Amino acid sequence: MPPKSVPLPAKPSKPYFFYGHRKPSQNRPVVYGGLFSNRQVLKPPQSPLPPSPPFDLRKWDPHHLSQNPSPPPISTPHQHSKLSPIARFIIDAFRKSQYTWGPSVVFELNKLRRVTASLVAEVLKVQDDPILASKFFHWAGKQKGFKHNFASYNALAYCLNRNGRFRVADQLPELMDSQGKPPTEKQFEILIRMHADKNRGQRVYYVYQKMKNFGIKPRVFLYNRIMDALVKTGYLDLALSVYEDFRGDGLVEESITFMILIKGLCKAGKVAEMLEVLRRMREMSYKPDVFAYTAMIKILVSKGNLDGCLRVWEEMQRDGVEPDVMAYVTLVAGLCKGGRVQRGYELFKEMKKKGILIERVMYGVLIEGFVKDGKVGSACGLLKDLIDSGYRADLGIYNSLIEGMCDVKLIDRAYKLFQVTVQEGLEPGFATVKPMLLVFAEMRRMSDFCKLLEQMQKLGFSVNDDLSKFFSFVVEKGERTIMAVRVFNELKVKGYGSVLIYNILMGALHKTGKVKQALSLFQEMKDLNFEPDSSTYSNAIICYVEDENIKEACICHNKIIEMSRVPSIDAYYSLTNGLCKIGEIDAAMVLVRDCLGNVTNGPMEFKYALTVLPACKSGAEKVMEVLNEMMQEGLPPDNIICSAIISGMCKYRTIEEARKVFANLRTRKLLTEANVIIYDELLIEYMEKKAADLVLSGLKFFGLESKLKAKGSTLLSR
């Protein structure tokens, strides 16, 4: 019996490219399953970044970033996966040197047997450091037997532009010419396309001029690209000069050439020139389609040129181009916004006659236009037509109609429309109820006013916030301020009120000259246990200063400081001016410094006041130079500036120097005789006060105050 064959052990299959998967590494993707399987890239492990220390302004070094520049962005392995092995070797040499050109990089690159222009282009396509790319490009050009080709030059141009060095990229044509490789139209096209994509119109024209200097004539396509970039960036004159060159070269316009010029002329409002180009376009057997005409109308509407829009519309009809819905909507919307709603309505009827589907937006534009024109009846007729057409009116349409009805005092009909918006679930907002609240207030129908407020509260309105908006709207016209106060007095009884409303009314009363009434509101606010905020105290400061109650104004200022807040600029200016009038010049100068230290853009008078103080060290002539500069800025010397002159002259110079300045201002009729006398008295009083302070300081320094007190002197009690 023959022996049984023993099966051999199965040979382990060796994973290879077709069947298996190889060991993954950072730079080599893993292949699963076979030749056509998906490829995955292993991402290098990223160590968590240490938490950054809290920012301390006192330790901030403005030169830190310039001394420690951040490294250039590192390309991911996915970007390098398509590179050739030699290109990867070069990129790896850059990475080892931390993307800094030096002997170590040159040493690694010298290991290469041969460098080709295609290899240089391959490296530059993925390089994100323009300086390193330029160094590598220059190094490659010096290698024996090497010459750059168009691909490497183009890759360098893309690299420089990609990293914001487009001005350097513009110099590549000269570099190519110097290296015996004159640029062609393609190189200039690349530069023009780069600048056009970034809306750099002047750089496009610069490259075009350089192209002419090299004796290269663009093709029609490139001419169109240049003119389009210039028109889009607002350089129509340059685009027209390029068009003259276009015609001078004997080239024939395409349809897009004419449309670029027409859009540019429409944007500039040059309708006559645009019609001339349109005539020339017809002579070339070209005719704009409905989309081109709509684009022209849209540009003219955006510029408010309605006459030009209608002229383009006539040209469209002359060419036999049938307008579509978008063309009608664009023109009707422009006519309604420009106050020509009747002409827009005629186009609307023309659409209906042609059986064109009219969108809801068309109804909304016409209704808003009729309301602005005071034709509420026509607007209501369009609403009926809208509903009969199967549309549902949106909130904007209802808001326009409610506002129009309130303008003609049809408040009851407006209120019914408001109820309709609620029933249809349109969620009306403050814009819906504002005109009704105003009419109720003007007609003194406060019961209906409060009824509307209650309904607003049920609908989820923030009533106090909306009342603040309402009072802000009412007091925009000064003559309605008294009505606003009257309405608020009636609302207070029903529990409506807030600090913001008090602030609005106080500011409005002050603007209309009713300071006493504003201060009574401030007192009432405190009596009702409302907590005033910094705006309240700022308004009170201004009112107290105008009421010549500087002490109370200072108390309000201190209240703001206790709240760790900053007064308004108007409050700073008013209180400083008031302190100067009563001779408290030192306190006023402290406020000037405090204001400029706390606010972003303080009054120019404060800035010049602090400029005058050190100028007093050099005498009257230097001060007059500062005042002359100030007057050139349109700022005549006021009370604060004159007080700064008094303070600076008493501190650094003499009374006579100050009097020279005031005498010069009197000669130039910048101060009246009465003001000169007042400032002279303040000058003497301020100097006496400073002298007395020096005497008191001397007595205290030498310890003589006890002897004076023993003799019954009250001098030190000051």
State pLDDT tens for residues 83-116. 888 888 888 888 888 888 888 888 888 888 888 8
Residues 6+ positions from 243 with CB-CB distance below 8 Å: 227, 257, 261
Q: Give me the count of residues in the chain.
A: 718
Q: How far apart are the first and last CA of the chain?
A: 139
Do 265 and 273 contact (CB within 8 A), yes or no?
yes
Q: How confident is the model at residue 541 (pLDDT cuts 50, 70, 90)?
A: very high
Q: How confident is the model at residue 56 (pLDDT cuts 50, 70, 90)?
A: low
pLDDT at position 4 is: 46
CB burial class (10 A; 0-12, 13-18, 19+) of residue 367?
A: buried
Q: What is the average per-residue pLDDT within 461-487?
A: 92
pLDDT at position 654 is: 86
Q: What is the average per-residue pLDDT within 650-676?
A: 89
Q: Which helix (H) or strand (E) holds 31?
A: strand 30-31
Lookup result for tokens 């050139």 = 632
Residues 6+ positions from 289 with CB-CB distance below 8 Å: 321
Sign of the torsion angle spanned by Cα atoms 617, 618, 619, 621: negative
Q: How confident is the model at residue 232 (pLDDT cuts 50, 70, 90)?
A: very high
Range 219-238 burial, b when 16+ CB lie within 10 A, else e:
eeebbbbbbbbbbbbebbeb
pLDDT at position 102 is: 87
pLDDT at position 80 is: 53
Q: How confident is the model at residue 28 (pLDDT cuts 50, 70, 90)?
A: low
Angle subtended by helix axes 585-598 and 639-652, to nearest 10:
110
301 phi/psi in degrees, rounded to 5: -65, -40
Tell me what percent of the residues of the chain surpass a pLDDT of 90. 50
pLDDT at 500 over 60: yes
CA-CA distance, 488 to 135, in Å (whole number)?
A: 75
CA distances from 192 to 169, 200, 203 (A): 11, 9, 8
Which is higher by pLDDT, 24 or 709? 709
CA-CA distance, 293 to 299, in Å (whole number)?
A: 10
CA-CA distance, 449 to 487, in Å (whole number)?
A: 10
Which amino acid belongs to residue 298?
A: K
Q: Which helix (H) or strand (E) holds 699?
A: helix 673-701
pLDDT at position 111 is: 85
pLDDT at 10 over 70: no
pLDDT at position 32 is: 47
pLDDT at 398 over 60: yes
- Report helix, strand or coil for 39: strand
pLDDT at position 704 is: 60
What are the structure tokens assigned to 292, written together?
Answer: 């081109």
Q: For every residue of 84-117, which 3-state class applies, written as one string? A: CHHHHHHHHHHHHCCCCCCHHHHHHHCCCCCCCH
Q: What is the average per-residue pLDDT within 579-599?
A: 91
Residues 6+ positions from 220 with CB-CB distance below 8 Å: 246, 251, 252, 253, 254, 257
pLDDT at 629 over 70: yes
Which is higher by pLDDT, 691 or 370? 370
pLDDT at 470 over 70: yes
Tell me, what DSSP letter sits at residue 653? S
CA-CA distance, 637 to 271, in Å (whole number)?
A: 50
Contacts 24+ apart (CB under 8 A), 170-176: 170/203, 170/206, 170/207, 170/210, 173/210, 173/214, 176/148
pLDDT at 573 over 70: yes
* Average pLDDT over all residues of the chain: 85
Q: How confident is the model at residue 30 (pLDDT cuts 50, 70, 90)?
A: very low
pLDDT at position 24 is: 54
Q: How confident is the model at residue 15 (pLDDT cuts 50, 70, 90)?
A: very low
Cross-strand bridge partners of residue 31? 39
Tabulate helix, strand, coil % of the chain (nearest 5). Answer: 65, 0, 30
Q: What is the average per-residue pLDDT within 242-262?
A: 92
Do 297 and 315 contact (CB within 8 A), yes or no?
no
CA-CA distance, 118 to 377, in Å (whole number)?
A: 76
Q: How confident is the model at residue 357 (pLDDT cuts 50, 70, 90)?
A: confident
93 phi/psi in degrees, rounded to 5: -65, -40
Do 294 and 326 contact (CB within 8 A), yes or no?
yes
What are the structure tokens assigned to 361, written together?
Answer: 């937006």
pLDDT at position 34 is: 43
Contacts 24+ apart (CB under 8 A), 511-518: 511/478, 511/481, 512/478, 512/481, 514/481, 515/543, 515/546, 515/547, 516/547, 517/485, 518/543
- Report helix, strand or coil for 407: helix
pLDDT at 61 over 90: no
Q: What is the average per-residue pLDDT within 627-639?
A: 90
